[in-house]
Amino acid sequence: MVIPVHDVNPVRHTPWVTYLLIAANILVFLLTPASATTVTGAAGLAQTCQQEAFYDRFAAIPTELVHNQPQALVPDGQIAIGDRGPGCVLARPDYSKIPALSALTSLFLHGSWLHLLGNMLFLWIFGNNIEDRFGRLRYLLFYLACGMVATYGFALTHADSTEVLIGASGAIAGVLGAYIVLYPRARVWSLVPLLFFIPLRLPAWLVLGLWFLLQWIYTAGYAVSSAGSVAYIAHVFGFIVGALVALTMRSAGVQTARP
C-alpha cells in the first residue's frame, strides 16, 4: 500500500479546524482505556472488559443504529469466571444511550495507537486543503456529516451486527473523496513499497484512487486484508459522499467561505 507523507499543495489560511480535530482525537484517546494498550491494541482480559464496556456505551453499534434502540445486555467492565473460562460480565446498562448520538461520538474513538496515528496522518496531510477550500464551519459540518453517513452506511449493510464501530476513518475518507475531486493533480510525497519503501512524488488522483480501489476490493471480498476487523465499506461510503459533495459544490460554483 502507498503511504502518503506530505502533499505539495499550499493553503491560504491556517487550518485551525483540522488541528482541533486532530487534537480532539488524541485527547479523547488518552482519556479512554485503549490508551493503555500496546501500539497494535493488545490488552489483558481486565483491560479488554473495560474497553468493551466503554465502547458499548459510546461507540456506534450497527443493530442499535438500525433499530434505534440500545442493547439490553452490555459488558459492565468486570470479569466473570464461567464454565467456558474467564470472560466479561454482561449486565443491563446503568446509563441511557442515544444510538444516533453514538454515530457522532464514535468518530472520536480509536482502538489502538496505530489506529489513531494512521487516521491522523491522513487528516493532517489532506484536511488542511479541504478546510481552506470549504471554509472552517462548512468543513467541520462536512467532516462530521461524512463520518455519520459512513457509520450509518456500514450499519445498514450489517443490520444485525453487535460489533462496535469506532474511528475517524469514515469522516477522513470523505475528506479524501473531496480532495481527489478538487486537487487531482496535486503532488503527494508517498512511500511506495518496492522491496523497501521508496519516496516518490505522485499525483493525488493516483494515491487516493489506489487507496479507494483497495477499500473497494476488500469490501467486495476479492482480497483478504491483514489489518484485522476494518470497516472498509464505511470508507467507501465516506469517500463517495465526500466526492459527491465536492462535485456538487464545484458544479454549482459555490464560493469558498473566508475564515
pLDDT for the residue 228 = 47
What is the count of structural domains for the chain?
1
Spatial neighbors of 247 by CB under 8 A, at least 6 apart, are 181
Say what the pLDDT of residue 140 is.
98
Q: Answer whether residue 76 is part of any domain.
A: no
Whether 34 maps to a domain, the answer reads yes
Domain extent for 209:
3-43+50-69+96-252
pLDDT at 84: 62
* Three-state secondary structure call for residue 131: helix
Nearest alpha-carbon partner for 45 in 75, 82, 87: 87
Contacts of 192 (CB under 8 A, 6+ apart): 2, 198, 199, 200, 202
- 180 assigned to some structural domain: yes
Residue 259: inside a domain: no
Kindly state whether residue 75 falls inside one of the protein's structural domains.
Answer: no
Domain of residue 119, CATH code:
1.20.1540.10
Whether 91 is in a domain gets the answer no
pLDDT at 176: 98
Say how far residue 94 (Cα) sits from the centre of its chain.
28
What stretches in the chain show pLDDT beneath 70?
37-43, 82-85, 222-229, 253-259
Residue 256: predicted pLDDT: 53
pLDDT given at position 195? 78
pLDDT value for 82: 63
Reduced to 3 states (helix: H, G, I; strand: E, B; else coil), residue 8 is: strand
Q: Give a yes or no: residue 57 inside a domain.
A: yes
pLDDT of amino acid 259: 39
Hunting for cell 475518507 — which residue is that?
A: 173
**pLDDT for the residue 203:** 97
